Structures are given as C-alpha cells and as structure tokens.
C-alpha cells in the first residue's frame, strides 16, 4: 500500500511540469451575500467552474482542509460549527433538530433507525462531527442493548447455553472460562463469528456503547478469560511505537508488567 501511494504521489507531482492555466485562488469578499445560483454567471464567463454544486456537503472536506483556502471570504467559523457541532443561529428551515442541536441534511427521515446502515458505509463520516466515546456513548446508553441492531447483540454471549439442556453462559464468571475453553479455544459459535466480523467492519461502533472496551477485555485479555489475541497482522512492527506513545498504559490493561 505504501509503495502504491508513493508512486501515485510522484505521478501527481510530475503532472506539475505540464501546462499552465489562468487558475489561481482569488478573494471572494463582497460576494458573500450572493446566492449560489448566481455564481455560475461569473464563473462560466471566466472559464472556471464553480464548486458549490449539489454534492458540496460531501465534497467540501477536501477544499476546507487545504491551506490557504478562501472559505472565510464568505463564511464565518459559525458556518462550519453549526453543521459539525449542532449550532443553528442561521439554520435553514429545511433542517430538522434533535433536542437543541440542528442536523445536517445527510440525517434524513428517522435517522435513529437509518444511522446503523449509514454507519456501515464510510464510518469516518460519523466521526468527523461526533466523538464516539462521548456523543455516541451517551446516546446509546439510553437505549437497551436488546434494541440494537447487531446480530451478536440480539443473541448475546450470555444467552448461549452450553448444550441443548445445559445452563447459559451467564451463570459462569470469567475465571471459569479456562475450565472448558482450554488454551482459549472457542467453538464455532455463531456469536463468536458474527461479533468478530461486525467488530472488524466497524470497530468504532463497539466504542459507542463500550467506550473503555471493558466487555471486550473479558475475553481479549492476556491474563484472564479466554485470552483471545485481538491484534492485527502488523502488530509486531507497531506495538513498540504504540506502547511508547501511551506510556504502556493501554498494554497494561490486558498484560502484566514486563510480559509484552
């Protein structure tokens, strides 16, 4: 991946050697009161296509993150924060609200029911505005886990019986795991397969209800429980850097000092 991206960067930079057009960033102060539909009248005649099209909500990220930009010629910072942090001093009458917070147009109809589908697309779209550990967790904590969409949560681990007539897992404590699951070996329960798939696809969604990962660490732990290894394939090359960055405080959540 790194090699491919480096090659792409080089190719793009090589393009700089070709042709020059008249484009350059220009001030738009004085046009801030103009409506979007009027912009193209000037842009067409100057041969520069304007960029506030119908998909601008999705596209503006790339323009806003580059410096310098001329967003501030027409917009105050409140324009950004009203969408990203729920403000509404200039809210459009087409926008709905959730409590005192205004929602951008991407939050269509009953977003409480639709957001699990949207979150399975590009999850980063959610976290550009919402902090998973705080915003999402605070809201999810008000709803019961049985009402959540995930298959692994509809039939939870604690509900799985040991056999057709045996007791459910809820009657056992974490220290009992090793009595049946020797060396942390898990049977091919549907739960264990589906929760792993769901977690890998959208790990941040786990964080929305379990911000500290306490539930995960019952099994994914080097000292207690099933001791299931959760690390990615490149773990050997990144663990030192991540450990040093956090002063090993993340490692120590699961490992004994000096054992990792």
Partner 1 sequence: MRFIFRKFFIVSVVFLSFFLVSAAAHADPLKFSSSTQFLWGDDLLGQSQTIIAQYLRLSFTPEGKPYSIAGYGRLWKDFGSPAVRDNDVEGRLYYLYLDYALTPNISTRIGRQFTNLTAGTSLMDGISLDVHKIGPVGVTLAGGRDVVFSLDSEFTRNGNYFAGVDVHLENVKSTQLGVSYVRRYDESDLSREELGMNFRYFFKSLSPYAELKYDVLSEVFDEATVGIDFFPMSNLMIKAEFFHSYPTFDSTSIYSVFAADKYREYLIRAEYALALPVTLVVGYSRQTYDEGDNADVVTVGARVYPSQDLSLYAAYDYRYGFTGYNGFTKELNGRLSGFELNADYKFKKNLMFFAGVQYDSYSRPENITDTNSAQRYWIGGRWIATKKVAVSVRLEDNDNENFNHRTLGRVTLDWNL
Looking at residue 146, the DSSP 8-state letter turns out to be: G
Reported as type and span, the H/E element at residue 153 is: helix 151-154
For the bound state, the minimum distance from the C-beta of residue 224 to partner 1, rounded and expressed in Å, comes to 15
CA distance 233 to 219: 19
Residues 60-79 that bind partner 1 (CB under 8 A): 62, 64-68, 76-78
Contact call for residue 258 and partner 1 (CB under 8 A): no
Residue 186's Cβ-side half-sphere holds a number of Cα atoms within 13 Å equal to 15
CA distance 202 to 195: 11
* Binder among 10, 27, 30, 124 for partner 1 (CB under 8 A): 124
b/e sequence 51-75, b meaning 16+ C-beta within 10 Å? eeeeeeeeebeeeeeeeeeeeeeee
Contact string (CB under 8 A) for partner 1, positions 204-243, x = contact: x-xx----xx--xx--x---------xxxxxx-xx--xx-
For the bound state, the minimum distance from the C-beta of residue 173 to partner 1, rounded and expressed in Å, comes to 21
For the bound state, the minimum distance from the C-beta of residue 72 to partner 1, rounded and expressed in Å, comes to 10
For the bound state, the minimum distance from the C-beta of residue 51 to partner 1, rounded and expressed in Å, comes to 8
Token representation of residue 59 = 């596209």
Contact call for residue 250 and partner 1 (CB under 8 A): yes
Task: List, in sequence order, the alpha helices (H) in 34-149.
Answer: 36-46, 56-65, 77-84, 111-119, 124-127, 137-140
Residues 24-63 that bind partner 1 (CB under 8 A): 24-25, 37-38, 40-41, 43-44, 47-50, 53-55, 62
Are 211 and 133 spatial neighbours (Cβ–Cβ below 8 Å)? Answer: yes
Q: Which is nearer to partner 1, 181 or 253 (CB)?
A: 253
Residues 99-118 that bind partner 1 (CB under 8 A): 99-100, 105, 108-110, 112-114, 116-118
Token representation of residue 211 = 């911000």
CA distance 208 to 210: 6
Size of the site for partner 1 (CB under 8 A): 120
Contact call for residue 200 and partner 1 (CB under 8 A): yes
Q: Which is nearer to partner 1, 108 or 167 (CB)?
A: 108
Residues 143-172 that bind partner 1 (CB under 8 A): 149-151, 154-155
């Amino acid at each position: 991946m790194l090699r491919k991206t480096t090659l792409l960067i080089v190719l793009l930079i090589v393009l700089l050697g070709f042709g020059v057009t008249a484009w350059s960033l220009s001030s738009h102060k004085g046009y801030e009161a103009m409506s979007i539909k009027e912009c193209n009248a000037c842009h067409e005649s100057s041969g520069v296509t304007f960029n506030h099209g119908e998909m601008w909500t999705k596209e503006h990220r790339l323009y806003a993150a580059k410096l310098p930009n001329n967003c501030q010629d027409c917009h105050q910072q409140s324009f950004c924060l009203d969408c990203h942090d729920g403000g509404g001093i200039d809210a459009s009458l087409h926008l709905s609200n959730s409590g005192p917070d205004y929602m951008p147009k991407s939050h269509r109809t009953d977003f409480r029911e639709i957001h699990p589908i949207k979150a399975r697309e590009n999850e980063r779209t959610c976290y550009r505005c919402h902090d998973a550990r705080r915003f999402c967790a605070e809201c999810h904590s008000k709803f019961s886990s049985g009402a959540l969409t995930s298959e692994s949560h509809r039939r939870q681990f604690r509900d799985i019986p040991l056999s057709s007539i045996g007791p459910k897992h809820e009657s056992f404590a974490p220290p009992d795991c090793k009595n049946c699951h020797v060396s942390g070996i898990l049977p091919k329960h549907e739960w264990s397969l589906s929760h792993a798939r769901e977690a890998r696809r959208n790990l941040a969604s786990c964080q929305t209800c379990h911000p500290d990962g306490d539930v995960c660490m019952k099994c994914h732990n080097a000292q207690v429980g099933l001791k299931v290894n959760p690390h990615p394939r490149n773990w050997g090359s990144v663990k030192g850097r991540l450990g040093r960055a956090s002063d090993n405080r993340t490692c120590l959540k699961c490992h004994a000092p000096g054992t990792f």
